Chain A
Amino acid sequence: MEELDGEPTLTLIPGINSKKRQMCFDWGPGEMLVCETLFKKKEKEEKVLGCPFIYIVRKDIDVYSRILRKLFNESHSIFVGLQRIEEESAGKSRKAQLVRVSKNYRSVIRACMEEMHQVAIAAQDPVCGRQYSSQVSILSAMELIWNLCEILFIEVAPAGPLLLHLLDWVRLHVCEMDGLSADVLGSENPNKHENFWNLPGNTQTLTELELKWQHWHEECERHLQDGTFASNPHLESLCKVMLGDDNALLEQKELLSNWYHFLVTRLLYSHPTVKPIELHFYAQSSLDLFLGGDSGPEPLDNILMAAFEFDIHQVIKECSIALSNWWFVAHLTDLLDHCKLLHSHNLYFGSNMREFLLLEYASGLFAHHSLWQLGVDYFDHCPELGRVYLELHIERIPLNTEQKALKVLRICERRQMTEQVRSICKILAMKAVCNNRLGSALSWSIRAKDAAFATLVSDRFLKDYCERGSFSDLDLIDNLGPAMMLSDRLTFLGKYREFHRLYGEKRFLDAASLLLSLMTSQIAPRSFWMTLLTDALPLLEQKQVIFSAEQTYELMQCLEDLTTGRPEPRDLEGQRPQDDDIETTKVEMLRLALARNLARAIVKEGTLEGS
């Protein structure tokens, strides 16, 4: 039964608003078709002018963004590199590697953001500009979330460094700062604190740090109580802030962009040695205090909160819902999986969360005319269903150019996807035949091991030969090699061409034997025998005797086989009476030539030198 986690997204298709019509739907390989229709099939109905439009609708249109394409390309390289990281490396070095990967992903997001920002500014059309800006905010949010995940899940910063990382995190994302307040609210003090704490050497224990901080905190308190700042309310409130007074801090709310900024500042002044597991308490209260009941949390807030609660699955789930494409969750989840953080969250069909997301993402890539190639690598790293998904998707890639077709075939061949290879070769063979490129058609049928089609194409070649008197694509036919065995007709084609070659090289005896064998072995189709016998004529008329007596008898037999058997359905459609005459004349000529040859052969063989 359906369990809705939230309302499904509603997409309105414009059209005539009629209560009486329904929508017709079809799946394309990467898109959907919808149109207005009336399903109730009435036999006789007056012409109803419906909406004649078909709407082609697509999900994941992000693949079409030129700027995001860089994101897809570069993150693809990082992804592939990550999959290859040695499993053996453990402990610190592995963690360092994973952190590096995470930082790489983030820098790619930032680069994309920067470029989109430039485009947004330069945009002439304000609507366009707004759309780009909105995309920039989305990317910024993605980087924010990723960064936090990196700190909490990958870096796994302990108490102490944790706060510093969080300070960096906030600083990176909060742009508006000014003057003294800025000092207090985080930008300069960390430096002082850094010096104070003497990091990154980390030579002090947490307890030592806490003691030092306590000492400083007490001093501040003393100053406040002594009224040192009584004359200057501004400084006094500053001192209160530094003592972690929430109310004082909240008074500066306009300078705090958001609740996590508030959170980190609070922590800085009240609990700098916060432990990771304590974070979510502070986070929740910060959120509540900051929003103050004015508004509810936004999706981004929920995601960050889930992160502070170390609920990785919730983070992934919320991100999947909030973001329009799978890029973010797919790559982040994959990375977290490499950190061994995901419990095997088995899906009903046996795949796990990581694979589920990667399959979705990669499927989206296949909708694009060149990004699909990236998708291949993603499928390769999905052990359960990656292969079958690849098989289903790769067959749908339009093979508009030979180059693209070869690329697709290479991919299939490397993975031993023999069915797909065969199918693609058959498609290409058919296309070639339709465009009259017989040589190409033949190569493809051979590659597809499609005997039936090879026969069809060979027939076409032979038909061409009969009509024009010459072969096209001689190179191909001459070099068939063992492929010739694919079909009888193909073998015949190859051998027939060989006959012509032998004749051209004046190797008449060999040519003659071959010609005869083509008929006696039944490889030559009956319809072609007349042509073959006619080809024998010049050999029969040579000065020297080429066909032996025995061979001549066999030829005569063939001729008789051919001529008695009539009337039979004509091979050429609708032969006219004149054709009959031509046929009769040919037969007569052959009989004469054969008889003459027989006579000469007998004589030759009868004399002493004859062989």
Chain B
Amino acid sequence: MVSVINTVDTSHEDMIHDAQMDYYGTRLATCSSDRSVKIFDVRNGGQILIADLRGHEGPVWQVAWAHPMYGNILASCSYDRKVIIWKEENGTWEKTYEYTGHDSSVNSVCWAPHDYGLLLACGSSDGAISLLSYGGEGQWEVKKINNAHTIGCNAVSWAPAVVPGSLVDQPSGQKPNYIKKFASGGCDNLIKLWKEEEDGQWKEDQKLEAHSDWVRDVAWAPSIGLPTSTIASCSQDGRVFIWTCDDASGNTWSPRLLHKFNDVVWHVSWSITANILAVSGGDNKVTLWKESVDGQWMCISDVNKGQGSVSAITEGQQNEQ
């Protein structure tokens, strides 16, 4: 059973493009074609506008919350080719960094696992992917992968942090050797996996081909401690694939078709324990998919937009079966 527990009136004056909950589910960030990014406190079923951030000069496509150990930090990307990083200092939200290194709309931003520090990947319609890394004292280091995807890059998603060998108590100051990886999806119908080399440069590690049209989103599933890695991808071709890699070296990826929709599929995202995949797009619906007892993926819920009454739920009440 799925029930609406809160409705937040964002008062955005134009189309909303993204809404993201923070780590704890206490704050909500939204962004819109009206060029603003808004932050709300949504605890206890309420809504309090905390910030209305202006700075972009075009529709804002995505927002992403950084891990709370770095403070309250939000990244946003926009049609105006900019990536802006906002930070809460002394109770007020301000722009802390602005990146203008792309020649075209920036479509997607994704923070890396907190173990890698404060590191942001950005995918743009100019085909390039930028990696912004915070070096301390207000300094950001930029690395750029040019021509990552021909025509454009639509999505970026980080692999969960996995330390080779066991993570024993590291003496302070020593950083464990993580192999940083992320996936990107582009207008060349490809999904590419990128790996950071020892010299700090990013190299294309794998190319996953299965889609017949633009890849709209990729989502690398959180790790539940198993040796398998899983990536979900969706495309203009209406298909959603689940890619799995069984070996630790990460070399053979096999796709499984989850479903073919009748329309473009725009977004895929994993729940925090990676047991449910949400797919939004085709048919104006969000469908939730789960792997069942025998390894089959099945649709467990259809969250649809439409008219109809939904009872507001307050404590103590129960929906009728």
The residues of A with any CB-CB pair to B shorter than 8 Å are 1-5, 8-15, 17, 19, 21-39, 41, 43, 45, 47-50, 52-62, 64-67, 119, 128, 130-132, 134-135, 138, 322-325, 345, 347-350, 353, 356, 359, 363, 385, 387-389, 392-393, 395-398, 418-419, 423, 426-427, 429-431, 434, 449-452, 486-487
Q: Return A230 CB to nearest CB of chain B, in Å.
A: 50
Most chain B beta carbons < 10 A, residue from A57, A347, A349: A57
Partner of A31, one of B17, B21, B278: B21
Assess the B301–A8 pair: CB atoms within 8 A. yes
Assess the A13–B304 pair: CB atoms within 8 A. yes
Q: Which chain A positions have C-beta within 8 A of B61?
A: 41
Complex CA gap A372/B67 in Å reads 21
Q: Return A445 CB to nearest CB of chain B, in Å.
A: 10
Assess the A57–B317 pair: CB atoms within 8 A. no
Q: Which chain A positions have C-beta within 8 A of B3?
A: 11, 57-59, 61
Q: Which chain B positions have C-beta within 8 A of A36?
A: 16, 305
Q: Which chain A positions have C-beta within 8 A of B71?
A: 430, 434
Q: Which chain A positions have C-beta within 8 A of B88?
A: 434
Assess the B17–A37 pair: CB atoms within 8 A. yes
Interface-forming stretch among B187-195, B199-207, B259-267?
B259-267
Complex CA gap A27/B275 in Å reads 12
Assess the A50–B30 pair: CB atoms within 8 A. no
B250 adjacent to chain A (CB < 8 Å): no
Assess the B307–A423 pair: CB atoms within 8 A. no
Q: Return A471 CB to nearest CB of chain B, in Å.
A: 22
Binary flags per residue of B298-309, CB closer than 8 Å to A gives 1, else 0? 111111111111
Assess the A21–B305 pair: CB atoms within 8 A. yes
Closest to A132 in B: B318
Assess the B9–A52 pair: CB atoms within 8 A. yes
Assess the A41–B79 pair: CB atoms within 8 A. yes
Closest to B70 in A: A430
Assess the A29–B172 pair: CB atoms within 8 A. no
- Count B-side interface residues using an 8 Å CB cutoff: 103
Given contacts A24-B280, A26-B21, A487-B172, contact A54 B318 (CB under 8 A): no
Complex CA gap A30/B264 in Å reads 28
Interface-forming stretch among B94-102, B142-150, B287-295?
B287-295
Q: Which chain B positions have C-beta within 8 A of A389?
A: 224, 273
Q: Return A316 CB to nearest CB of chain B, in Å.
A: 10
Q: Return A486 CB to nearest CB of chain B, in Å.
A: 6
Q: Which chain A positions have C-beta within 8 A of B67?
A: 423
Q: Which of B94-114 contact A (CB under 8 A)?
A: 105, 107, 114
- Summed over the interface, the residue pairs from A and B with CB atoms below 8 Å come to a total of 301
Q: Return A228 CB to nearest CB of chain B, in Å.
A: 50
Assess the A23–B19 pair: CB atoms within 8 A. no
Complex CA gap A62/B320 in Å reads 12
Closest to A11 in B: B2
Closest to B318 in A: A135
B251 adjacent to chain A (CB < 8 Å): no
Q: Which chain A positions have C-beta within 8 A of B34?
A: 47
Complex CA gap A380/B236 in Å reads 43
Q: Return B304 CB to nearest CB of chain A, in Å.
A: 5
Given contacts A57-B2, A430-B71, A451-B173, contact A10 B10 (CB under 8 A): no
B248 adjacent to chain A (CB < 8 Å): no
Assess the B318–A348 pair: CB atoms within 8 A. no
The 4 closest A-B pairs by CB, nearest first: A348-B295, A28-B21, A426-B69, A398-B24
Given contacts A54-B8, A345-B293, contact A48 B14 (CB under 8 A): yes
Given contacts A25-B267, A27-B270, contact A430 B68 (CB under 8 A): yes
B23 adjacent to chain A (CB < 8 Å): yes
B249 adjacent to chain A (CB < 8 Å): no
Assess the B299–A55 pair: CB atoms within 8 A. no
Assess the B15–A37 pair: CB atoms within 8 A. yes
**8 examples of A-B residue contacts, CB within 8 angstroms:** A12-B310, A14-B307, A14-B309, A29-B21, A41-B59, A57-B3, A363-B273, A452-B136
Q: Return B138 CB to nearest CB of chain A, in Å.
A: 13
Partner of A396, one of B14, B23, B216: B23
Complex CA gap A45/B59 in Å reads 10
Given contacts A9-B302, A348-B295, contact A27 B269 (CB under 8 A): yes
B7 adjacent to chain A (CB < 8 Å): yes
Assess the A10–B19 pair: CB atoms within 8 A. no
Q: Which chain A positions have C-beta within 8 A of B139?
A: none
Assess the B315–A24 pair: CB atoms within 8 A. no
Complex CA gap A53/B23 in Å reads 21
B238 adjacent to chain A (CB < 8 Å): no
Q: Which chain A positions have C-beta within 8 A of B24?
A: 29, 396-398
Complex CA gap A32/B2 in Å reads 9
Assess the A65–B26 pair: CB atoms within 8 A. no
Q: Which chain A positions have C-beta within 8 A of B69?
A: 423, 426-427, 429-430
Assess the B316–A24 pair: CB atoms within 8 A. no
Q: Which chain A positions have C-beta within 8 A of B259?
A: 1-2
Q: Return B154 CB to nearest CB of chain A, in Å.
A: 9
Assess the A138–B321 pair: CB atoms within 8 A. yes
Q: Return A545 CB to nearest CB of chain B, in Å.
A: 41
Most chain A beta carbons < 10 A, residue from B15, B90, B216, B313: B15
Given contacts A54-B28, A65-B316, A396-B23, contact A35 B272 (CB under 8 A): no
Most chain B beta carbons < 10 A, residue from A19, A50, A138, A452: A50
Given contact pairs A33-B19, A65-B317, A349-B224, enumerate 12 new A-B contacts (beta carbons under 8 Å): A8-B287, A11-B301, A11-B310, A12-B305, A49-B13, A50-B16, A53-B8, A54-B7, A57-B4, A322-B321, A359-B273, A389-B273
